[in-house]
Structure 1
Amino acid sequence: MATVKLFHFKNKILKDGTSPIHLQVIHKRKRRWFTSGISVKPEDWDPIEKQIINYPKNEKKNFRKKNYHLKNLLIKAEGIIIDLESSERPYTADDVIAKLKGVDSALFAAFTDRIIKEFQKQKRYGNANIYNSAKNAFLKRINKTEISFDEINYRLLKKFETNLINEGVSINGISVYMRTIRALYNRAIKEKVAKKENYPFEEYKIKHSKTHKRALKKEEINKIRDVDLKQKPAQEKARDFFMFSFYCMGMAFVDVAYLKVANVMNGRLHYSRQKTSQLYNFELVPPALELIKKYSDLKNPEDYIFPIIDPDHPNPHKCYNLQIGLNNKCLKAIQNHLELPLKLTTYVARHSWATIAKRSGIPTAVISEGLGHTTEKTTQIYLDSFENSVLDKANKIITL
């Protein structure tokens, strides 16, 4: 439980020779201060009784008001803490200060930090990094270290957007930040620490532009599959991980990295997606099973299947981040060797699976399920646009 007390900063001397009195709030080893707006000389402050003394008789009424103000401030802070404790929701010393200032909502940075810690405990490190980046980017561009949710309005979001545009951040890059802030605001409303009537995303609409082509054709995927890389073991591994992702409905590289022997049961793959915790259970196609057997004897359930994360590394996610960078460098070398039409990264396998599935006549709803998207709208972003010739042919069928 947080504690509060009045504190006289006697070492800070103002121009009139007085020193300020602040309210000190301590919670979970975090110390915060709230100014009372009152200052007195050291000899006029009783550090035991926490009140002003030695005031002139002709100013007795004025000093009594000051003591009453200080006492009332202390009582108000204690009441806020009791209310926060009664809510049984996590809170910070900053939340107490915010409520003393009359801000009746959670503080954005403190709230975000709590969500980040939740992600880290769940080992959803990618989400944690995205939320941390969005928080830091937002506070930096609006020139604040903290802000309440109720203070985040249309004007502030536009200011953030304008600053990012001026810095050359892409529309889709801005979209990632804004969607993260929107998700945080929605979470705060659900937890009843932000007001629904102040929700700024009714007015502010998040923009996004069409992504560059990141999908290969089936024959290009086959070229990657068939290229001889026996003399280049690092590139061979990168190719194998890429193909495994493609064989497993565009499985994200992070999920490939964290797969363990225990996830393989009776020729099926059972795993929980790192990003969303969504459960998957599907039959492994023969080439995917061949790749698993190439890298694992499938004996120890706790072993990683693929040699991406070092099991002895103290920080698996740091190890993963290093490996994905090296993996993409190898994929770029393969791209150059095969003269592929786009930059080859781990994500291309995911986009390619989705686009090839669409071109094969698979309904978007089924593709969406395979990718683990909650809406078909998200899936549509992954799907490469059909060539003009395909649209021309379709139009002739419809109109002629």
Structure 2
Amino acid sequence: MKIGIELFKGKLLKDNTNPIAIRLTHNGKTKYKFVGVSSKAKNWNNIKKVISCRESEYKIKNEIIKREYNRIAERLHWFEENNLEFDFDFIISNKDIESYSIETNNNVSDFDSNNFIDIIKARILSYNKVKTRENYQAFLNVMLKLYGSFININSINQYFTLEFRNKLDEANYSANHKNSLIKCFTSSYKFGVENRWITRPYVFSIKKYAHEAINRDITFEDFTKIIGLFKKQIQANFDVKYYESLAIFCLDIAFQGLAPFDLANIKISDLELCVISNIDPNFEAKLNDEKYQYIIENNQEFREVIKIRTYRAKTNTFVPICCDYNTIRPILYYLCKGKTRNDYLINCFSINKEYSEKQYHNRCGSYFLQLSNKLNPFLHEIGMSNKVTYYIARHAFINALDKMNIPHDLIRKMVGHKTNTLEKSYINKPTDWEQSEVIFKIFNQYETIQNLELQAKGERVCNIQWKELELFLTGQIPNY
């Protein structure tokens, strides 16, 4: 029998600390007893098995650890003196040691490394991301359904994995979902090996299922129909409130196909209104070369744009957005009305409320689901029968760029896709003009929509409204 003290890395508490546990090991079986105190990993001395002085109340915590360690060590010694088979659950319990009998029931619930189900639970707790936890929780539910609450870790071998795959064959899951379950299975097993809970690991392999492509796209024809419908609403001078769901869908496209969660996190203060040019003049050459000066003066174009510097939450990839301002001006005017620059652009989150990570995702999912239910009746009017979600806007944007023969390197940078080292480190980033030109082309170049005017009727009245918006976006007025 071996006894030791460990920082239990398989469980992360809400205050970002790990619990301290007494580890018992005997004949390949391991049992943990949590002592009721925790520490940050950087403050744990793994050699001396104590909490360092950098941790608050470290003396009190170390005393608790020492007292619990000595208590369990004494109980182990009693079992050894009486030549009894070690009963892990009784040893770590608070029951009177003299009351022990072989018939004692096991009523103590604690981590059992001999149970693969407990290792899966520890794997779930090791993740910080809510979505990842949800995926592994779904895997745990499947394992409980297939095998019950106990799976002997020593029973997991090649035969077990073949049986596991056969059970998945019988289940009514998609191939992609089955592959996700296989990934969770192998990851949880490796997690147990890495934490030394599985002392005699078995090398096995599970054949994955053929990937099934998920159609999250719409046709290019339907894409141009949606843009056309949006521009018709503007041409008819309808209140954006009437077609808000359609306007936000088009705003997502104009913002280079941001994922809905990323769009919901954009604040008005993130929007920078500025003027850019298609030519970056070399002023020294302009002063000294009359021909160069003539070229600039006769070929230079200017454009008002909205710039946003943001990150894609899923991959933490930098996404620089540069969008033609006149394309989305009516939408911004509607969304910014009555807000301060510290407010979120769309009305998914409130700056006056704090959300947990899970609440953020649930709130975002609910918001876009409601918008989607309002959007689809609009799309039925133009003959689109399939349900369209807001994540489709991202796929539709990427598909549209491909149809427009935009280089794939530029597409990857605009949508925040991770690429190989060459594309990350050696290819120049797209210019502001290139990015804004893409949005301009989407809304203006195709035959199905090229004859529709973007500007609403009553141009002079609108110009006054736009001036208010521009002052607001540039921070010259605090409230709008």
Give the TM interval when normalised to the shorter protein. Answer: 0.5 to 0.7
Q: Write the letter of the residue equivalent to 2:143.
A: L
Q: Write the letter of the residue equivalent to 1:2.
A: A
| Counterpart contact for 2:123–2:191, Cα < 8 Å | no
Q: Write the letter of the residue equivalent to 1:255.
A: D
Q: In structure 2, do the counterparts of structure 1 residues 51 and 146 end up closer, same or farther at CA, with 3 Å as the change threshold?
A: closer
Deviation track 1:160-210 (CA, whole Å, cap 9, x = no partner) reads 55555544322233344445556667777888888998575x542243212
Residue 317 of structure 2: which of 258, 269, 278 is its match?
A: 278
- 2:147 counterpart SS class: coil
- 1:215 counterpart SS class: coil
Please state how far the C-alpha of 1:326 moved relative to its aligned partner.
Answer: 0.5
Residue 357 of structure 1: which of 372, 389, 401 is its match?
A: 401
Q: In structure 2, do the counterparts of structure 1 residues 233 and 285 end up closer, same or farther at CA, with 3 Å as the change threshold?
A: closer
1:77-226 matches, within 5 Å, as 97-98=112-113, 101=114, 107-115=119-127, 118-119=128-129, 125-136=130-141, 138-145=142-149, 162-163=166-167, 166-179=170-183, 203-212=206-215, 214-217=217-220, 218-226=223-231
- 2:251 counterpart SS class: helix
The answer to which of 283-292 and 187-196 deviates more is: 187-196
TM-score (norm 1): 0.59
- Between 1 and 2, higher relative CO (CA 8 Å, sep ≥ 6) is seen in 2
d(CA) in 2 for partners of 1:3, 1:190 = 18
Q: Write the letter of the residue equivalent to 1:67.
A: N
| Counterpart contact for 1:127–1:275, Cα < 8 Å | no
Percent identity (aligned):
14
| Counterpart contact for 2:257–2:394, Cα < 8 Å | yes
Deviation track 1:323-362 (CA, whole Å, cap 9, x = no partner) reads 1220111122122122125321112211111111112222
Q: In structure 2, do the counterparts of structure 1 residues 24 and 308 end up closer, same or farther at CA, with 3 Å as the change threshold?
A: closer
Residue 324 of structure 1: which of 368, 375, 381 is its match?
A: 368
The answer to which of 349-358 and 65-74 deviates more is: 65-74
Q: Write the letter of the residue equivalent to 1:211.
A: I
| Counterpart contact for 2:268–2:345, Cα < 8 Å | yes
Listed as ranges, the gaps of 5+ residues in structure 1 are 6-22, 31-46, 54-63, 78-92, 120-124, 377-400
Deviation track 1:282-306 (CA, whole Å, cap 9, x = no partner) reads 3233224653343126974531111
Q: Write the letter of the residue equivalent to 1:347.
A: Y
| Counterpart contact for 2:270–2:308, Cα < 8 Å | yes
Deviation track 1:111-130 (CA, whole Å, cap 9, x = no partner) reads 22220xx22xxxxx444444
Residue equivalent to 1:367: 411
Count of paired positions: 304
Q: In structure 2, do the counterparts of structure 1 residues 161 and 231 end up closer, same or farther at CA, with 3 Å as the change threshold?
A: farther
Please state how far the C-alpha of 1:24 moved relative to its aligned partner.
Answer: 8.0
d(CA) in 2 for partners of 1:169, 1:67 = 53
| Counterpart contact for 1:106–1:188, Cα < 8 Å | no
Please state how far the C-alpha of 1:245 moved relative to its aligned partner.
Answer: 1.3
Q: In structure 2, do the counterparts of structure 1 residues 244 and 145 end up closer, same or farther at CA, with 3 Å as the change threshold?
A: farther
Residue 336 of structure 2: which of 296, 300, 306 is its match?
A: 296
Please state how far the C-alpha of 1:242 moved relative to its aligned partner.
Answer: 0.8
Please state how far the C-alpha of 1:373 moved relative to its aligned partner.
Answer: 2.8
Residue 255 of structure 1: which of 246, 262, 266 is its match?
A: 262
Q: In structure 2, do the counterparts of structure 1 residues 355 and 26 end up closer, same or farther at CA, with 3 Å as the change threshold?
A: same
Identify, as 1 or 2, the structure richer in helix: 1
Q: In structure 2, do the counterparts of structure 1 residues 191 and 250 end up closer, same or farther at CA, with 3 Å as the change threshold?
A: farther
- 1:204 counterpart SS class: coil
Residue equivalent to 2:451: none
- 1:282 counterpart SS class: strand
| Counterpart contact for 2:117–2:151, Cα < 8 Å | no
Alignment RMSD = 4.7
Residue equivalent to 1:236: 243
Please state how far the C-alpha of 1:370 moved relative to its aligned partner.
Answer: 3.0
Residue equivalent to 2:21: 2
d(CA) in 2 for partners of 1:3, 1:149 = 21
